[in-house]
Amino acid sequence: DSGVTQTPKHLITATGQRVTLRCSPRSGDLSVYWYQQSLDQGLQFLIQYYNGEERAKGNILERFSAQQFPDLHSELNLSSLELGDSALYFCASSVSLAALNEQFFGPGTRLTVL
C-alpha cells in the first residue's frame, strides 16, 4: 500500500457524460500527478499540481481539467466523455518538486465509457 488513495475504484458511464476522479496523496506529500493508462497510448502523464498550483501539463485533452485543494487532495474532471477515454487513471504523489523525489502511485480508477 503506497499511501495514495483514489476513488472510485471503478466507474462506468455513457458517452457525453462528466465524471470526477478523486485522489488523496500520501501524508506530507505536496505534489500530485495524474497519469492515464490505455492500451493504445500506454502510460501518459496528464497534469501535475504542487501545493495547489498547476506545475506541468502533458497530453491532457481540453475536455479534462484538474485541481488541487487546500487539503492537498486532487480531483480530475473528465467531461463530454468519448469511448476512447476508457482507461485506467492513476494518481501519484511525491514530497516536493525536487528531482530526486520518488513518485508513489495510487490503486487507480478504471473508467469505462459505453
107 binds other proteins (CB under 8 A): yes
Nearer to other proteins, 16 or 58 (CB): 58
Q: Where does this chain touch other proteins (CB under 8 A) — which range of 11-19, 22-30, 76-84, 103-111? A: 103-111
**What are φ and ψ of residue 87, in 5° steps?**
-175, 175
**How far apart are alpha carbons 26 and 86 in whole angstroms?**
26
106 binds other proteins (CB under 8 A): yes
Q: Could you say which of 3, 8, 28, 58 contacts other proteins (CB under 8 A)?
A: 58
Q: Is 37 in contact with 90 (CB distance < 8 Å)?
A: yes
Q: How far is the C-alpha of 100 from the C-alpha of 25, rounded, in Å?
A: 18
Toward other proteins, which CB reaches closer, 81 or 90?
90
Write the interaction track for other proteins spanning residues 30-49; mark x where CB under 8 A is met and - where it is not: -x-x-x------xxxx--x-
25 is a contact residue toward other proteins (CB under 8 A)? no
Rounded Cα distance, 92 and 17, in Å: 25
Q: Determine whether 22 is exposed, middle or buried from the number of CB atoms within 10 Å of its CB (0-12, 13-18, 19+).
A: middle
Residues that bind other proteins (CB under 8 A): 2, 31, 33, 35, 42-45, 48, 55-56, 58, 88, 90, 94, 97-108, 110
